Chains A and B, each alone.
Chain A
Amino acid sequence: MNTPKKEKDARFGKFGAVSFTTLTKVNDFVDYLQDGKVMATRCKACNTTFFPPRADCCHCLSSDMAWREVAGSGKLVSYSCLKFAPIGFDGDVPYSIALLDYGDYRVFGRIDSNLSLDDIKIGMPMMTVANKLPNGQINYVFKKA
């Protein structure tokens, strides 16, 4: 009897200019991102929010998670503008990596390349926005709130 070959759910390979992981239980993150939504997970048992999203809660050991949108604005904690890059990102320089603090979670990512460094100040409010990349990949960037 021929059993159909099981397809791998490699959706996560779409995340980032270069992706290093394809298999994860939080693959739906990529579908949400494609719909323009950046999502975190929330543990249904103890209500802890996780960004980056997790499939498992390390506080109460539950794996029953709900998706929750990264909404509103966070405060810019810090950033750095790179003039050198790892292989695969060379075409992107200069670009800035950064961290936003949303209060009960933080988000690590890139600052929108259309923003001038002169407009960036630690402490300023920023939003996390889904972003399509030229090579068909997707990620998210931080824009002025």
Chain B
Amino acid sequence: MRSVAIIGVGQSHFVRSYPGAIRELVFEGYKEAMTDAGITAKDIGASVVCSAPEYDKQRSPAGVVAEYLGLNPQPTFYVETLCSSSSTGMRLAYSLVASGLHDIVAVLGFQKMSEISSAESQERMGRGADIQWESPFGTMMPAYYAMYAQAHMAQYGTRPEDLAAIRVKSATYGQINDRAVYRKAVTPEMFTNPEDKMSGPVASPLRVGDCCANADGASCIIVASEDKARLFSKKPIWILGVGAATASVNLTGRDLFTGLRAAEQAAAMAYAMAGVGPKDIDIAEVHDCFTIAEIMAYENLGFAKPGEGPELIRSKATYKDGAIPVNVDGGLLSKGHPIGATGGSQVRTIVLQLRGEAGPMQVKDPEIGLVHNIGGVGIYGNVTILGNQPAGGKR
């Protein structure tokens, strides 16, 4: 198979409510990525459009998006794996390019969560699980992650303060990321002050501050073959490993409640393919839809042993100057989580970091970065490893 690189990245500002149509939102990420890559629509062989369809009024958004971006008559199609839709799009783009079927593929992720009313959104929340056997009990996403948090606390002594510390770190970087939806500081005291909104209970033990914000946003990643990457890009970023795994939707099919098995399995695949291990990762973006999710990610990715994830945040090892910086763009918690755009936005952050172009968020000289993007409550696990040298290249 051919080597595959990323030659362009873009994303819109993530906002509470985007004042425009979906196609216009997608254009914002696309324009930045195309300008970054220095190519035009005719250079693109195919486009992969990614979102979570329950928020879309438009049936089959890929067609409308391709039309608006001038990507006809090239093939376009739609993929979704809930919150990891654009990582799945990346995986498909990788295989389309590696196989030789296309030379350049655009991965377009978006979500306009404000497209539907909050009442409609509430109704969809109830269907975010197994609608036959779980939803009739009144389930919602935070409550599932809360069950993992409860189990992690019972087994390992993880504390509410550890969860709060994840949010405090996230807000540290959300403040310096001008694309983030939440740009205010968060302090540990906010979680213990009953008057503060952050401390409000959602689903025990998770509080308002433990949950990421809904947002509207778009992302775009341009994936290219080695020949095209060398032709168009001064700093191509190489896709070294792509791992993906799944787990049962219904919790009755799971055998682990202190971590996400699909994330562990996806990580093992990505590490094996890239020929690297957790210690080789210089910077990571992980799927912190809830604070507990980041702690589990530390463990599932091998940055910490099972149960020792909280120690990484207590020692600030995952801050920008720490041993393994994680989510130094604010993560989902502060940057926001526009479902279909999230994976592409995480990839963009790592690409900018590996190029040394991350501005105030820049970590010192990273060479290998990792993206961990989860769909649903651990249903779809995706881990992507990127490097500033091709596989087998000098590091």
Chain A residues engaging chain B, CB cutoff 8 angstroms: 12, 15-21, 24, 51-52, 77-89, 92, 95, 97-99, 105-110, 117, 122-123, 139
Contact = CB atoms under 8 A, between A and B. Distances in A.
B143 A78 contact: no
B202 interface: yes
A52 B132 contact: yes
Given A83-B201, A88-B126, A108-B250, A99 B138 contact: no
A134 to B, nearest CB: 14
Nearest to B126: A86
Contacts of B150: 78-80, 122
Contacts of A89: 126, 138
B352 interface: no
Contacts of A85: 138, 140
A77 B151 contact: yes
Given A52-B252, A83-B203, A97 B139 contact: yes
B127 A110 contact: no
A97 B131 contact: no
Interface residues of B, number: 40
Contacts of A82: 138, 140, 143, 202-203
Given A78-B147, A105-B252, A122-B151, A16 B257 contact: no
B261 to A, nearest CB: 14
Given A18-B126, A99-B252, A77 B138 contact: no
Interface in B238-252: 250-252
Contact of B202 (A16, A84, A87, A122): A84
Interface in B138-165: 138-140, 142-144, 146-151, 154
User: Which are the 7 A-B pairs with shortest beta-carbon distances?
Assistant: A16-B136, A86-B126, A89-B138, A80-B146, A20-B131, A52-B133, A78-B151
Contacts of B143: 80, 82, 97
Contacts of A20: 126-127, 131-132, 135-136
A84 B130 CA distance: 19
Interface of B: 119, 122-123, 125-127, 130-140, 142-144, 146-151, 154, 200-206, 250-254, 257
Contact of B136 (A17, A78, A117, A123): A17
Given A82-B202, A123-B154, 5 more contacts: A18-B126, A20-B135, A20-B136, A80-B143, A97-B139
A79 B147 contact: yes
Contacts of A97: 137-139, 143, 147
Contacts of B202: 82-84
Nearest to A83: B201
A38 to B, nearest CB: 12
A117 B251 CA distance: 21
Nearest to B201: A83
25 contacts: A16-B137, A17-B137, A19-B136, A20-B126, A20-B131, A21-B131, A77-B257, A80-B143, A80-B144, A80-B150, A80-B203, A80-B205, A82-B143, A86-B122, A86-B135, A87-B119, A88-B126, A89-B138, A105-B252, A106-B252, A108-B137, A108-B251, A110-B138, A117-B204, A139-B136
B316 to A, nearest CB: 29
A80 B122 CA distance: 19
Contact of A18 (B130, B136, B201): B136
Contacts of B133: 52, 108
A104 B136 CA distance: 24
Given A18-B138, A78-B151, A108-B133, A87 B126 contact: yes
Contacts of B140: 82, 84-86
Nearest to A88: B126
A98 B137 CA distance: 10
Contacts of A83: 200-204
Contacts of A98: 147
Contacts of A77: 151, 257
B132 to A, nearest CB: 5
Contact of A51 (B123, B149, B151, B252): B252
A64 to B, nearest CB: 21
B204 A80 contact: yes
A103 to B, nearest CB: 12
A127 to B, nearest CB: 16
Contacts of A16: 135-137
B251 A86 contact: no
Contacts of A95: 138
A51 to B, nearest CB: 6
Nearest to A99: B251
